[in-house]
Structure 1
Amino acid sequence: MRIAAATAFGTGHAPLWLLLLLAAASGTASATFQPGVASIVPQVAKDLRNLLEGWHEFRSRTGLWVVILARAVNGITTFGPLRPLTTLLVANEHGATGLGLVWTAFGAGNVRGGVIGMRFRPKRPLVAGAVAMFAWVALPLPNALGLPLWWTCACFVVGGAAWAFWSVMWAMSVQSQVPAAVLNRVYAYDVAGSLIAFPVGQALAGPVAELIGARTLLYVSALVAVVTFAVLLSVPAVRSLRRAEPPA
Protein backbone atom coordinates (compact mmCIF):
# COMPACT_ATOMS: atom_id res chain seq x y z
CA MET A 1 0.00 0.00 0.00
CA ARG A 2 2.79 2.38 0.88
CA ILE A 3 4.59 1.60 -2.37
CA ALA A 4 1.40 2.21 -4.31
CA ALA A 5 0.83 5.48 -2.49
CA ALA A 6 4.41 6.59 -3.09
CA THR A 7 4.16 5.67 -6.79
CA ALA A 8 0.88 7.54 -7.20
CA PHE A 9 2.29 10.57 -5.41
CA GLY A 10 5.49 10.44 -7.44
CA THR A 11 3.70 10.63 -10.74
CA GLY A 12 2.36 14.04 -9.80
CA HIS A 13 -0.91 13.31 -11.57
CA ALA A 14 -2.82 11.25 -8.98
CA PRO A 15 -6.10 12.84 -7.80
CA LEU A 16 -6.44 13.78 -4.14
CA TRP A 17 -9.18 11.22 -3.48
CA LEU A 18 -6.89 8.41 -4.64
CA LEU A 19 -4.08 9.51 -2.35
CA LEU A 20 -6.46 9.70 0.60
CA LEU A 21 -7.90 6.29 -0.21
CA LEU A 22 -4.43 4.70 -0.41
CA ALA A 23 -3.40 6.38 2.84
CA ALA A 24 -6.51 5.07 4.60
CA ALA A 25 -5.93 1.57 3.23
CA SER A 26 -2.30 1.70 4.36
CA GLY A 27 -3.28 2.75 7.87
CA THR A 28 -5.91 0.03 8.08
CA ALA A 29 -3.42 -2.60 6.97
CA SER A 30 -0.91 -1.43 9.58
CA ALA A 31 -3.52 -1.60 12.32
CA THR A 32 -4.58 -5.07 11.22
CA PHE A 33 -1.20 -6.72 10.86
CA GLN A 34 1.03 -4.88 13.32
CA PRO A 35 0.90 -6.97 16.54
CA GLY A 36 1.05 -4.08 18.99
CA VAL A 37 -1.83 -2.25 17.33
CA ALA A 38 -3.86 -5.24 16.23
CA SER A 39 -4.09 -6.45 19.83
CA ILE A 40 -6.40 -3.58 20.76
CA VAL A 41 -8.85 -4.20 17.92
CA PRO A 42 -10.92 -6.76 19.89
CA GLN A 43 -11.17 -4.32 22.82
CA VAL A 44 -12.28 -1.51 20.53
CA ALA A 45 -14.93 -3.79 19.03
CA LYS A 46 -16.10 -4.73 22.53
CA ASP A 47 -16.32 -1.07 23.54
CA LEU A 48 -18.40 -0.33 20.45
CA ARG A 49 -20.74 -3.20 21.28
CA ASN A 50 -21.09 -1.86 24.83
CA LEU A 51 -21.89 1.62 23.53
CA LEU A 52 -24.52 0.25 21.16
CA GLU A 53 -26.05 -1.85 23.92
CA GLY A 54 -26.07 1.18 26.20
CA TRP A 55 -27.71 3.25 23.46
CA HIS A 56 -30.48 0.66 23.13
CA GLU A 57 -31.12 0.74 26.89
CA PHE A 58 -30.92 4.52 26.90
CA ARG A 59 -33.31 4.98 23.97
CA SER A 60 -35.83 2.43 25.25
CA ARG A 61 -36.46 4.38 28.46
CA THR A 62 -38.28 7.57 27.53
CA GLY A 63 -38.41 8.81 31.10
CA LEU A 64 -34.62 8.79 31.26
CA TRP A 65 -33.52 10.10 27.87
CA VAL A 66 -36.01 12.98 28.08
CA VAL A 67 -34.39 14.02 31.35
CA ILE A 68 -30.90 13.77 29.87
CA LEU A 69 -32.01 15.89 26.93
CA ALA A 70 -33.46 18.47 29.35
CA ARG A 71 -30.21 18.45 31.33
CA ALA A 72 -28.23 19.07 28.15
CA VAL A 73 -30.48 21.97 27.13
CA ASN A 74 -30.23 23.48 30.60
CA GLY A 75 -26.50 22.87 30.69
CA ILE A 76 -26.09 25.21 27.73
CA THR A 77 -28.73 27.80 28.61
CA THR A 78 -28.94 27.83 32.42
CA PHE A 79 -26.52 25.66 34.44
CA GLY A 80 -23.45 26.51 32.36
CA PRO A 81 -23.84 30.32 32.32
CA LEU A 82 -24.74 30.53 36.02
CA ARG A 83 -21.24 30.25 37.49
CA PRO A 84 -19.39 32.76 35.29
CA LEU A 85 -22.24 35.29 35.45
CA THR A 86 -22.61 34.92 39.22
CA THR A 87 -18.87 35.34 39.67
CA LEU A 88 -18.86 38.43 37.48
CA LEU A 89 -21.81 40.21 39.09
CA VAL A 90 -21.18 39.29 42.73
CA ALA A 91 -17.46 40.03 42.56
CA ASN A 92 -18.14 43.43 40.99
CA GLU A 93 -20.78 44.32 43.57
CA HIS A 94 -19.45 42.70 46.75
CA GLY A 95 -15.84 41.71 46.09
CA ALA A 96 -14.10 38.42 46.74
CA THR A 97 -15.55 38.09 50.25
CA GLY A 98 -19.10 38.41 48.98
CA LEU A 99 -18.42 35.89 46.24
CA GLY A 100 -17.06 33.43 48.80
CA LEU A 101 -20.16 33.84 50.96
CA VAL A 102 -22.47 33.22 48.00
CA TRP A 103 -20.79 29.99 46.96
CA THR A 104 -20.54 28.88 50.59
CA ALA A 105 -24.29 29.37 50.85
CA PHE A 106 -24.71 27.28 47.70
CA GLY A 107 -22.61 24.51 49.23
CA ALA A 108 -24.64 24.61 52.45
CA GLY A 109 -27.79 24.27 50.36
CA ASN A 110 -26.26 21.31 48.57
CA VAL A 111 -25.67 19.55 51.87
CA ARG A 112 -29.20 20.23 53.05
CA GLY A 113 -30.78 19.13 49.78
CA GLY A 114 -28.68 15.97 49.68
CA VAL A 115 -29.70 14.99 53.21
CA ILE A 116 -33.38 15.59 52.40
CA GLY A 117 -32.99 13.51 49.24
CA MET A 118 -31.53 10.58 51.18
CA ARG A 119 -34.28 10.63 53.81
CA PHE A 120 -37.28 11.46 51.64
CA ARG A 121 -38.34 8.58 49.41
CA PRO A 122 -41.19 9.77 47.14
CA LYS A 123 -43.13 7.27 45.07
CA ARG A 124 -42.36 9.28 41.93
CA PRO A 125 -38.77 10.50 42.33
CA LEU A 126 -38.49 12.25 38.96
CA VAL A 127 -41.67 14.21 39.60
CA ALA A 128 -40.50 15.21 43.07
CA GLY A 129 -37.10 16.23 41.72
CA ALA A 130 -38.53 18.20 38.80
CA VAL A 131 -40.94 20.07 41.09
CA ALA A 132 -38.04 20.93 43.40
CA MET A 133 -36.08 22.28 40.46
CA PHE A 134 -38.54 25.14 40.07
CA ALA A 135 -36.74 26.51 43.12
CA TRP A 136 -33.52 26.48 41.08
CA VAL A 137 -34.54 29.89 39.74
CA ALA A 138 -33.50 31.21 43.17
CA LEU A 139 -29.95 31.02 41.82
CA PRO A 140 -30.07 33.34 38.77
CA LEU A 141 -32.83 35.71 39.93
CA PRO A 142 -31.16 37.52 42.88
CA ASN A 143 -28.28 38.72 40.71
CA ALA A 144 -30.62 39.53 37.84
CA LEU A 145 -32.68 41.66 40.24
CA GLY A 146 -29.63 43.15 41.96
CA LEU A 147 -30.74 42.02 45.45
CA PRO A 148 -28.61 42.69 48.55
CA LEU A 149 -25.88 40.18 49.42
CA TRP A 150 -27.72 38.52 52.29
CA TRP A 151 -30.77 37.94 50.06
CA THR A 152 -28.51 36.45 47.40
CA CYS A 153 -26.94 34.10 49.94
CA ALA A 154 -30.37 32.99 51.18
CA CYS A 155 -31.48 32.33 47.62
CA PHE A 156 -28.35 30.32 46.93
CA VAL A 157 -29.10 28.11 49.94
CA VAL A 158 -32.55 27.40 48.47
CA GLY A 159 -31.27 26.89 44.92
CA GLY A 160 -28.40 24.72 46.08
CA ALA A 161 -30.78 22.51 48.05
CA ALA A 162 -33.05 22.16 45.02
CA TRP A 163 -30.13 21.18 42.80
CA ALA A 164 -28.84 18.54 45.25
CA PHE A 165 -32.30 17.10 45.88
CA TRP A 166 -32.90 16.79 42.13
CA SER A 167 -29.51 15.11 41.70
CA VAL A 168 -30.37 12.50 44.32
CA MET A 169 -33.80 11.83 42.78
CA TRP A 170 -32.24 11.48 39.33
CA ALA A 171 -29.48 9.13 40.51
CA MET A 172 -31.98 7.01 42.43
CA SER A 173 -34.24 6.75 39.38
CA VAL A 174 -31.45 5.68 37.05
CA GLN A 175 -29.94 3.18 39.46
CA SER A 176 -33.28 1.58 40.28
CA GLN A 177 -34.67 1.46 36.73
CA VAL A 178 -31.65 0.35 34.70
CA PRO A 179 -30.24 -3.19 35.05
CA ALA A 180 -26.88 -3.23 36.81
CA ALA A 181 -25.24 -4.96 33.84
CA VAL A 182 -25.78 -1.91 31.59
CA LEU A 183 -25.97 0.84 34.21
CA ASN A 184 -22.51 2.25 33.48
CA ARG A 185 -23.26 2.40 29.75
CA VAL A 186 -26.47 4.36 30.28
CA TYR A 187 -24.70 6.68 32.71
CA ALA A 188 -22.06 7.26 30.05
CA TYR A 189 -24.61 9.05 27.87
CA ASP A 190 -25.74 11.17 30.81
CA VAL A 191 -22.17 12.15 31.68
CA ALA A 192 -21.32 12.81 28.02
CA GLY A 193 -24.30 15.14 27.68
CA SER A 194 -23.30 17.05 30.82
CA LEU A 195 -19.62 17.23 29.91
CA ILE A 196 -20.48 18.67 26.51
CA ALA A 197 -23.31 21.00 27.54
CA PHE A 198 -21.85 22.65 30.64
CA PRO A 199 -18.62 23.92 29.04
CA VAL A 200 -20.54 25.08 25.98
CA GLY A 201 -22.88 27.07 28.23
CA GLN A 202 -19.95 28.57 30.12
CA ALA A 203 -18.15 29.47 26.90
CA LEU A 204 -21.24 31.12 25.40
CA ALA A 205 -22.11 33.03 28.56
CA GLY A 206 -19.54 35.76 27.95
CA PRO A 207 -20.37 36.60 24.33
CA VAL A 208 -24.13 36.43 24.93
CA ALA A 209 -23.85 38.57 28.05
CA GLU A 210 -21.90 41.13 26.04
CA LEU A 211 -24.70 41.13 23.50
CA ILE A 212 -27.79 41.30 25.71
CA GLY A 213 -26.39 42.02 29.17
CA ALA A 214 -25.51 39.68 32.04
CA ARG A 215 -28.68 40.38 34.02
CA THR A 216 -30.90 39.84 30.98
CA LEU A 217 -29.18 36.52 30.32
CA LEU A 218 -29.89 35.45 33.90
CA TYR A 219 -33.58 36.26 33.40
CA VAL A 220 -33.53 34.14 30.25
CA SER A 221 -31.84 31.31 32.15
CA ALA A 222 -34.52 31.37 34.83
CA LEU A 223 -37.28 31.34 32.22
CA VAL A 224 -35.72 28.46 30.29
CA ALA A 225 -35.35 26.44 33.50
CA VAL A 226 -39.02 26.91 34.41
CA VAL A 227 -40.22 26.04 30.91
CA THR A 228 -37.91 23.02 30.63
CA PHE A 229 -39.02 21.43 33.88
CA ALA A 230 -42.67 22.23 33.18
CA VAL A 231 -42.31 20.38 29.87
CA LEU A 232 -40.53 17.57 31.69
CA LEU A 233 -43.49 17.18 34.05
CA SER A 234 -45.84 17.00 31.06
CA VAL A 235 -44.13 13.85 29.73
CA PRO A 236 -46.17 10.77 30.76
CA ALA A 237 -43.08 8.58 31.04
CA VAL A 238 -41.61 10.98 33.60
CA ARG A 239 -44.81 11.31 35.62
CA SER A 240 -45.44 7.56 35.65
CA LEU A 241 -41.94 6.48 36.65
CA ARG A 242 -42.22 5.10 40.18
CA ARG A 243 -39.66 4.22 42.76
CA ALA A 244 -38.51 0.63 42.45
CA GLU A 245 -38.97 -1.19 45.74
CA PRO A 246 -36.09 -3.41 46.90
CA PRO A 247 -36.80 -7.16 46.75
CA ALA A 248 -38.20 -8.61 49.95
Structure 2
Amino acid sequence: MFTQDIRNAANSMTQVSVQALRIFGPIIGGLIVTSFSAAWGFGIDALTYIISLFFLFSLRSLSFQKPTEMLGKENSLKQDFFEGIVVLKEESWLWITILAFSLINIFSGGIIRILIPWLINIYYEFEPVVYGLVLSASGAGAIVCGLVFGIRQEWKKRGLLAYVGVAISGLALLFMPFVSSIPLLMLCMFLEGAGIMLFGLIWETSLQELVPEDKFGRVASLDMLGSFSLLPVGYLVTGWLAEGIGEIFTLVTFSIVIVVISILVMFNKGIRNFN
Protein backbone atom coordinates (compact mmCIF):
# COMPACT_ATOMS: atom_id res chain seq x y z
CA MET A 1 0.00 0.00 0.00
CA PHE A 2 1.42 3.36 -1.05
CA THR A 3 0.37 6.91 -0.27
CA GLN A 4 -1.39 8.78 -3.04
CA ASP A 5 1.48 11.13 -3.86
CA ILE A 6 3.85 8.27 -4.75
CA ARG A 7 1.34 5.56 -5.69
CA ASN A 8 1.77 5.63 -9.48
CA ALA A 9 5.56 5.81 -9.29
CA ALA A 10 5.82 3.13 -6.58
CA ASN A 11 3.52 0.67 -8.34
CA SER A 12 5.36 1.28 -11.59
CA MET A 13 8.74 0.64 -9.96
CA THR A 14 7.46 -2.56 -8.36
CA GLN A 15 6.17 -3.91 -11.67
CA VAL A 16 9.19 -2.73 -13.66
CA SER A 17 11.51 -4.67 -11.37
CA VAL A 18 9.44 -7.80 -11.94
CA GLN A 19 9.21 -7.28 -15.69
CA ALA A 20 12.96 -6.69 -15.96
CA LEU A 21 13.46 -10.36 -15.14
CA ARG A 22 11.10 -11.26 -18.01
CA ILE A 23 13.59 -9.77 -20.44
CA PHE A 24 16.59 -11.87 -19.42
CA GLY A 25 14.83 -15.04 -18.24
CA PRO A 26 13.43 -16.21 -21.60
CA ILE A 27 16.65 -15.34 -23.43
CA ILE A 28 18.77 -17.29 -20.96
CA GLY A 29 16.30 -20.17 -21.06
CA GLY A 30 16.36 -20.23 -24.86
CA LEU A 31 20.17 -20.25 -24.89
CA ILE A 32 20.29 -23.10 -22.36
CA VAL A 33 17.85 -25.25 -24.34
CA THR A 34 19.59 -24.48 -27.64
CA SER A 35 23.12 -25.03 -26.34
CA PHE A 36 22.48 -27.93 -23.95
CA SER A 37 19.05 -29.49 -23.51
CA ALA A 38 15.62 -28.91 -22.00
CA ALA A 39 16.64 -31.09 -19.03
CA TRP A 40 19.33 -28.56 -18.12
CA GLY A 41 16.72 -25.82 -18.27
CA PHE A 42 14.37 -27.67 -15.92
CA GLY A 43 17.23 -28.42 -13.54
CA ILE A 44 18.33 -24.79 -13.28
CA ASP A 45 14.70 -23.70 -12.92
CA ALA A 46 14.25 -26.10 -10.00
CA LEU A 47 17.42 -24.73 -8.38
CA THR A 48 15.99 -21.19 -8.43
CA TYR A 49 12.96 -22.40 -6.46
CA ILE A 50 15.26 -23.85 -3.81
CA ILE A 51 17.13 -20.55 -3.59
CA SER A 52 13.82 -18.68 -3.28
CA LEU A 53 12.85 -20.92 -0.39
CA PHE A 54 15.71 -19.57 1.70
CA PHE A 55 14.50 -16.01 1.09
CA LEU A 56 11.01 -17.01 2.21
CA PHE A 57 12.38 -18.28 5.50
CA SER A 58 13.61 -14.76 6.25
CA LEU A 59 10.02 -13.48 6.13
CA ARG A 60 9.00 -15.51 9.18
CA SER A 61 10.24 -12.79 11.50
CA LEU A 62 7.95 -10.14 10.01
CA SER A 63 5.04 -8.97 12.15
CA PHE A 64 1.92 -7.12 11.03
CA GLN A 65 -0.23 -4.72 12.99
CA LYS A 66 -3.97 -5.18 12.93
CA PRO A 67 -6.33 -2.19 13.11
CA THR A 68 -7.66 -1.64 16.64
CA GLU A 69 -11.20 -2.56 15.65
CA MET A 70 -9.96 -5.89 14.25
CA LEU A 71 -8.21 -7.02 17.44
CA GLY A 72 -9.91 -10.01 19.02
CA LYS A 73 -12.26 -10.35 16.06
CA GLU A 74 -12.30 -13.65 14.22
CA ASN A 75 -14.27 -13.95 10.99
CA SER A 76 -15.22 -17.17 9.30
CA LEU A 77 -14.23 -17.85 5.71
CA LYS A 78 -17.84 -17.30 4.68
CA GLN A 79 -17.97 -13.90 6.41
CA ASP A 80 -14.72 -12.81 4.80
CA PHE A 81 -16.01 -13.87 1.39
CA PHE A 82 -19.25 -11.91 1.63
CA GLU A 83 -17.51 -8.85 3.08
CA GLY A 84 -15.32 -8.81 0.00
CA ILE A 85 -18.38 -9.17 -2.25
CA VAL A 86 -20.02 -6.17 -0.56
CA VAL A 87 -16.97 -4.01 -1.28
CA LEU A 88 -16.88 -5.12 -4.92
CA LYS A 89 -20.58 -4.37 -5.44
CA GLU A 90 -20.04 -0.77 -4.39
CA GLU A 91 -17.82 -0.06 -7.42
CA SER A 92 -18.85 -1.27 -10.89
CA TRP A 93 -15.24 -0.78 -12.03
CA LEU A 94 -14.16 -3.51 -9.61
CA TRP A 95 -16.73 -6.24 -10.15
CA ILE A 96 -17.08 -5.74 -13.91
CA THR A 97 -13.31 -5.93 -14.34
CA ILE A 98 -13.02 -9.12 -12.27
CA LEU A 99 -15.80 -10.74 -14.32
CA ALA A 100 -14.32 -9.53 -17.61
CA PHE A 101 -10.87 -10.85 -16.78
CA SER A 102 -12.20 -14.20 -15.67
CA LEU A 103 -12.94 -14.58 -19.40
CA ILE A 104 -10.03 -12.60 -20.87
CA ASN A 105 -7.50 -14.64 -18.89
CA ILE A 106 -8.95 -17.86 -20.33
CA PHE A 107 -8.21 -16.70 -23.87
CA SER A 108 -4.96 -14.81 -23.26
CA GLY A 109 -3.61 -17.62 -21.07
CA GLY A 110 -4.30 -20.18 -23.78
CA ILE A 111 -2.60 -18.01 -26.38
CA ILE A 112 0.52 -17.17 -24.35
CA ARG A 113 1.04 -20.57 -22.73
CA ILE A 114 0.03 -22.92 -25.55
CA LEU A 115 -0.37 -21.28 -28.95
CA ILE A 116 2.57 -18.83 -29.00
CA PRO A 117 5.15 -21.57 -28.21
CA TRP A 118 3.58 -23.69 -30.97
CA LEU A 119 3.61 -20.73 -33.37
CA ILE A 120 7.28 -19.93 -32.82
CA ASN A 121 8.75 -23.41 -32.46
CA ILE A 122 6.61 -25.52 -34.78
CA TYR A 123 4.72 -23.29 -37.23
CA TYR A 124 7.63 -20.92 -37.96
CA GLU A 125 10.28 -23.54 -37.02
CA PHE A 126 12.50 -21.05 -35.19
CA GLU A 127 15.17 -22.00 -32.66
CA PRO A 128 14.24 -21.91 -28.95
CA VAL A 129 16.34 -18.77 -28.50
CA VAL A 130 13.92 -16.92 -30.81
CA TYR A 131 11.05 -17.88 -28.54
CA GLY A 132 13.08 -16.41 -25.68
CA LEU A 133 13.60 -13.18 -27.61
CA VAL A 134 9.90 -12.90 -28.40
CA LEU A 135 8.90 -13.35 -24.76
CA SER A 136 11.57 -10.91 -23.67
CA ALA A 137 10.08 -8.31 -25.99
CA SER A 138 6.86 -8.57 -23.96
CA GLY A 139 8.81 -7.80 -20.80
CA ALA A 140 10.50 -4.87 -22.52
CA GLY A 141 7.14 -3.44 -23.54
CA ALA A 142 5.90 -3.77 -19.99
CA ILE A 143 8.96 -1.97 -18.62
CA VAL A 144 8.64 0.95 -21.05
CA CYS A 145 4.94 1.28 -20.22
CA GLY A 146 5.68 1.12 -16.50
CA LEU A 147 8.31 3.85 -16.72
CA VAL A 148 6.02 6.13 -18.72
CA PHE A 149 3.09 5.49 -16.37
CA GLY A 150 5.19 6.28 -13.32
CA ILE A 151 6.30 9.68 -14.65
CA ARG A 152 2.89 11.24 -14.05
CA GLN A 153 1.24 11.44 -10.66
CA GLU A 154 -2.26 11.40 -12.11
CA TRP A 155 -3.87 9.97 -15.24
CA LYS A 156 -7.31 10.91 -16.59
CA LYS A 157 -9.94 8.52 -17.99
CA ARG A 158 -8.24 5.54 -16.39
CA GLY A 159 -11.13 3.15 -17.07
CA LEU A 160 -10.98 3.72 -20.81
CA LEU A 161 -7.19 3.83 -20.77
CA ALA A 162 -6.98 0.45 -19.05
CA TYR A 163 -9.21 -1.34 -21.53
CA VAL A 164 -7.57 0.37 -24.50
CA GLY A 165 -4.42 -1.32 -23.23
CA VAL A 166 -6.17 -4.69 -23.17
CA ALA A 167 -7.51 -4.14 -26.69
CA ILE A 168 -4.00 -3.27 -27.94
CA SER A 169 -2.74 -6.47 -26.37
CA GLY A 170 -5.43 -8.49 -28.15
CA LEU A 171 -4.70 -6.84 -31.49
CA ALA A 172 -0.99 -7.51 -31.13
CA LEU A 173 -1.69 -11.21 -30.56
CA LEU A 174 -4.08 -11.21 -33.52
CA PHE A 175 -1.34 -10.14 -35.96
CA MET A 176 1.24 -12.69 -34.82
CA PRO A 177 0.14 -15.56 -37.11
CA PHE A 178 0.48 -13.25 -40.12
CA VAL A 179 4.05 -12.03 -39.62
CA SER A 180 7.00 -14.38 -39.94
CA SER A 181 9.72 -11.79 -39.34
CA ILE A 182 11.43 -12.07 -35.96
CA PRO A 183 11.56 -8.27 -35.42
CA LEU A 184 7.83 -7.98 -36.21
CA LEU A 185 6.99 -10.84 -33.87
CA MET A 186 9.00 -9.09 -31.17
CA LEU A 187 7.15 -5.84 -31.91
CA CYS A 188 3.80 -7.60 -31.49
CA MET A 189 4.83 -9.02 -28.13
CA PHE A 190 6.26 -5.63 -27.13
CA LEU A 191 2.81 -4.10 -27.68
CA GLU A 192 1.15 -7.02 -25.92
CA GLY A 193 3.32 -6.55 -22.85
CA ALA A 194 2.84 -2.78 -22.83
CA GLY A 195 -0.95 -3.08 -23.14
CA ILE A 196 -1.32 -5.59 -20.33
CA MET A 197 1.10 -3.62 -18.14
CA LEU A 198 -0.98 -0.47 -18.64
CA PHE A 199 -4.10 -2.27 -17.48
CA GLY A 200 -2.28 -3.95 -14.59
CA LEU A 201 -0.89 -0.71 -13.20
CA ILE A 202 -4.25 1.05 -13.36
CA TRP A 203 -5.95 -1.93 -11.76
CA GLU A 204 -3.42 -2.25 -8.94
CA THR A 205 -3.57 1.47 -8.22
CA SER A 206 -7.37 1.51 -8.26
CA LEU A 207 -7.56 -1.34 -5.75
CA GLN A 208 -5.37 0.60 -3.34
CA GLU A 209 -7.52 3.70 -3.79
CA LEU A 210 -11.00 2.20 -3.63
CA VAL A 211 -10.73 -0.72 -1.21
CA PRO A 212 -10.55 -0.01 2.56
CA GLU A 213 -7.29 -1.23 4.04
CA ASP A 214 -8.98 -3.69 6.42
CA LYS A 215 -10.88 -5.25 3.48
CA PHE A 216 -8.00 -5.26 1.01
CA GLY A 217 -6.99 -8.88 1.60
CA ARG A 218 -10.54 -10.14 1.01
CA VAL A 219 -10.96 -8.18 -2.22
CA ALA A 220 -7.50 -9.12 -3.49
CA SER A 221 -8.32 -12.79 -2.85
CA LEU A 222 -11.58 -12.50 -4.80
CA ASP A 223 -9.66 -10.79 -7.59
CA MET A 224 -7.22 -13.69 -7.76
CA LEU A 225 -10.03 -16.23 -7.57
CA GLY A 226 -11.99 -14.62 -10.39
CA SER A 227 -8.96 -13.98 -12.55
CA PHE A 228 -7.20 -17.34 -12.32
CA SER A 229 -9.64 -20.03 -11.20
CA LEU A 230 -10.75 -20.74 -14.76
CA LEU A 231 -7.25 -20.84 -16.27
CA PRO A 232 -7.08 -24.67 -16.24
CA VAL A 233 -10.36 -24.74 -18.16
CA GLY A 234 -8.86 -22.27 -20.62
CA TYR A 235 -5.83 -24.45 -21.23
CA LEU A 236 -8.06 -27.48 -21.79
CA VAL A 237 -10.36 -25.62 -24.20
CA THR A 238 -7.38 -24.16 -26.07
CA GLY A 239 -5.85 -27.57 -26.71
CA TRP A 240 -9.19 -29.09 -27.63
CA LEU A 241 -10.09 -26.31 -30.09
CA ALA A 242 -6.59 -26.19 -31.57
CA GLU A 243 -6.81 -29.88 -32.35
CA GLY A 244 -10.32 -29.56 -33.77
CA ILE A 245 -10.30 -26.34 -35.81
CA GLY A 246 -6.59 -25.63 -36.12
CA GLU A 247 -4.06 -23.69 -34.08
CA ILE A 248 -4.04 -20.55 -36.24
CA PHE A 249 -7.84 -20.27 -36.32
CA THR A 250 -7.96 -20.75 -32.55
CA LEU A 251 -5.32 -18.06 -31.98
CA VAL A 252 -7.14 -15.60 -34.24
CA THR A 253 -10.52 -16.36 -32.65
CA PHE A 254 -9.22 -15.98 -29.10
CA SER A 255 -7.48 -12.69 -29.96
CA ILE A 256 -10.67 -11.29 -31.49
CA VAL A 257 -12.65 -12.31 -28.41
CA ILE A 258 -10.20 -10.41 -26.17
CA VAL A 259 -10.62 -7.27 -28.30
CA VAL A 260 -14.42 -7.62 -28.40
CA ILE A 261 -14.69 -8.06 -24.62
CA SER A 262 -12.52 -4.98 -24.11
CA ILE A 263 -14.69 -2.89 -26.41
CA LEU A 264 -17.95 -4.11 -24.86
CA VAL A 265 -16.72 -3.33 -21.35
CA MET A 266 -15.88 0.23 -22.41
CA PHE A 267 -19.56 0.81 -23.23
CA ASN A 268 -20.38 0.48 -19.53
CA LYS A 269 -20.86 3.87 -17.89
CA GLY A 270 -19.03 2.84 -14.72
CA ILE A 271 -15.95 1.90 -16.75
CA ARG A 272 -16.05 4.97 -18.99
CA ASN A 273 -16.41 7.33 -16.06
CA PHE A 274 -13.82 5.71 -13.83
CA ASN A 275 -11.14 8.35 -13.39
TM-score band (shorter)? Answer: 0.7 to 0.9
Q: CA deviation at 1:82?
A: 2.6
Aligned to 1:14: none
Aligned pairs for 1:1-248 (under 5 A) are 45-92=75-122, 93-120=125-152, 121-242=154-275
**Aligned pairs, number:** 201
Aligned to 1:35: none
Residue 170 of structure 2: SS of its match in structure 1? helix
Alignment CA distance shift 1:213-1:146 (3 Å):
farther
Letter in 2 for 1:100: G
Residue 219 of structure 2: SS of its match in structure 1? helix
Superposed CA deviations along residues 107-151 of structure 1, whole A, max 9, x for unmatched, are 111111222222243122221111122210244223322432211
Q: CA deviation at 1:231?
A: 1.0
Alignment CA distance shift 1:175-1:74 (3 Å):
same
Alignment CA distance shift 1:223-1:138 (3 Å):
closer
Q: Is residue 166–residue 196 contact of structure 2 (8 Å, CA) maintained in 1?
A: yes
Alignment CA distance shift 1:182-1:63 (3 Å):
same
Q: Distance in 1 between matches of 2:184 and 2:264?
A: 29
Q: CA deviation at 1:74?
A: 0.8
Residue 224 of structure 2: SS of its match in structure 1? helix
The 10-residue stretch of structure 1 (176-185 or 160-169) with the greater mean CA deviation from structure 2: 176-185
Q: Is residue 145–residue 215 contact of structure 1 (8 Å, CA) maintained in 2?
A: no
Q: Distance in 2 between matches of 1:55 and 1:61?
A: 10
Letter in 2 for 1:210: E
Q: CA deviation at 1:213?
A: 0.9
Residue 127 of structure 2: SS of its match in structure 1? helix
Greater relative contact order (Cα < 8 A, sep 6+)? 2
Per the normalisation by structure 1, the TM-score is: 0.75
Residue 107 of structure 1: SS of its match in structure 2? helix
Residue 69 of structure 1: SS of its match in structure 2? helix
Alignment CA distance shift 1:96-1:44 (3 Å):
farther
Q: Is residue 159–residue 272 contact of structure 2 (8 Å, CA) maintained in 1?
A: yes
Q: Distance in 1 between matches of 2:172 and 2:103?
A: 17
Alignment CA distance shift 1:182-1:43 (3 Å):
closer
Structure 1 gaps of 5+ residues are: 1-41, 243-248
Q: Distance in 2 between matches of 1:78 and 1:94?
A: 22
Q: CA deviation at 1:222?
A: 1.6
Residue 94 of structure 1: SS of its match in structure 2? coil
Residue 177 of structure 2: SS of its match in structure 1? helix
Structure with higher Rg: it is 1
Per the normalisation by structure 2, the TM-score is: 0.68
RMSD: 2.0
Q: Is residue 76–residue 198 contact of structure 1 (8 Å, CA) maintained in 2?
A: yes
Q: Distance in 1 between matches of 2:173 and 2:257?
A: 11
What is the aligned-residue identity percentage?
A: 25
Q: CA deviation at 1:224?
A: 0.7
Letter in 1 for 2:198: F
